[in-house]
Each structure stands twice: as C-alpha cells, then as structure tokens.
Amino acid sequence: MQRLAVIFALVLCGAARGQDAEKLAPYYPTPLVIVEKMLDLGGLKAGEKMFDLGSGDGRIVIMAAQKYHADATGVEMADDLYRQSMQKIRSLGLEKTARIIHGDIFKQDYSSADLLTVYLLPVSNDKVRPLLEKQLKKGTRIVSHDFPFRDWTAEKEITIEDDGEGRSHTLYLYRR
C-alpha cells in the first residue's frame, strides 16, 4: 500500500513539473539513512567505481565519495539538480572522486562500474535493464531502491521498516 502511494507521488510529482516522456522518474530523493544502507548493501569499497542512475541532488554520489572513498559518478538530466549537485561536490572539495554527468541515463557507458544505484519507476527499470545487461561487466552489483528488476533474481532483499519519518523502504541487491 505504502509502495503504491510512493508510485502515485512520483507520477504526480512528475506531472506537476511538466516533465517530458523521456523522464524515467521525477525527483524524489532517497533519505540519507537509506543512502547509507544502499551503499552498505552494495558492498562499496574504497577506489571502486559507482554510478547513480538519475542522481538528483547528488546525495548518493557525494556519500559514496566522501564516506566510502569510491570514485562516484551521477547521471542527471535536470539542469537545476545537475547544477546544485556539482556545486555541492565543489564546495566539499570532492571534484577528484565525484562528478555528475549532465545527460541521459540511456546514453552513458557503465562498463567500468563496480556498483550501480538505481531509484527509478518500475517501468523504467524495465527500459534500462537491456542496456545494463549489454554493458555491465561480470560481477557488477546493482542496488535498486524500492522497485525490483523484473526477470533478475535478487541476491539479497532488505526492508527498512522505518526511515525515521515513518516510511518503509525495500532494497534489492543484484549481481551480474
């Protein structure tokens, strides 16, 4: 029920901002406590390459670089979110290990990734899946927030019942 409410909120939010059809999900940030759980579940280690598909305000990329000492890249199409996240990266002095590509999720090369994080709509996971199956090297981990990848079997699934604000979150870990 709660998940349905999130889908509904995501769709309404997108409509309210007049986003076009290519947008795979509107901006709906992952709470920081859940970001940390995602990176822990993905087993992110220092020096590994991670990508966040649709990076929003850059919070996952920033935590991956700052706390986990990973090489972190976000992909974000929205101008304001791209600018805001790059500003934050610069203000934290993380430019060497964190960056945001101002572009389309579908037009990037993820073949060097050790870990991908994803928080998109269920139908968007379906659309992105073929690209990931084609590009990802063996062993790449994928952590998806709230929505599974159909046709992939999760190696692990965890639910955090309360994020501190009364919302529950499910995280899915996959390995190619």
Ligand X SMILES: C[S@@+](CC[C@H](N)C(=O)[O-])C[C@H]1O[C@@H](n2cnc3c(N)ncnc32)[C@H](O)[C@@H]1O
* Residue in 51, 68, 119, 174 binding ligand X, rule: CB under 6 A: 119
Question: Interface with ligand X includes 136 (CB under 6 A)?
Answer: no
How far is it, in rounded angstroms, from Cα 161 to Cα 149? 21
- Is there a contact between 91 and 55 (Cβ–Cβ < 8 Å)? no
Amino acid in position 33:
V
Q: What are phi and psi of 133, to 5 degrees?
A: -65, -35
Question: Interface with ligand X includes 144 (CB under 6 A)?
Answer: no
Pick between residue 30 and residue 140 the one whose CB is nearest to ligand X: 30
**Cβ neighbours, 10 Å, residue 162:** 10
Q: Which residue has the tokens 């935590």?
A: 63
Among the listed ranges 42-50, 69-77, 88-96, 160-168, the one in contact with ligand X (CB under 6 A) is: 69-77
Pick between residue 88 and residue 138 the one whose CB is nearest to ligand X: 88
Nearest to 89 by CA among 81, 78, 77, 99: 99
Interaction mask 6-45, ligand X, x per CB under 6 A = ----------------xxxx-xxxx---------------
CA-only gyration radius of the chain, Å: 15
Interaction mask 38-67, ligand X, x per CB under 6 A = --------------x-xxx--xx-------
Q: Which residue has the tokens 């992952």?
A: 30
User: What residue ranges bind ligand X (CB under 6 A)?
Assistant: 22-25, 27-30, 52, 54-56, 59-60, 75-78, 81, 104-105, 119
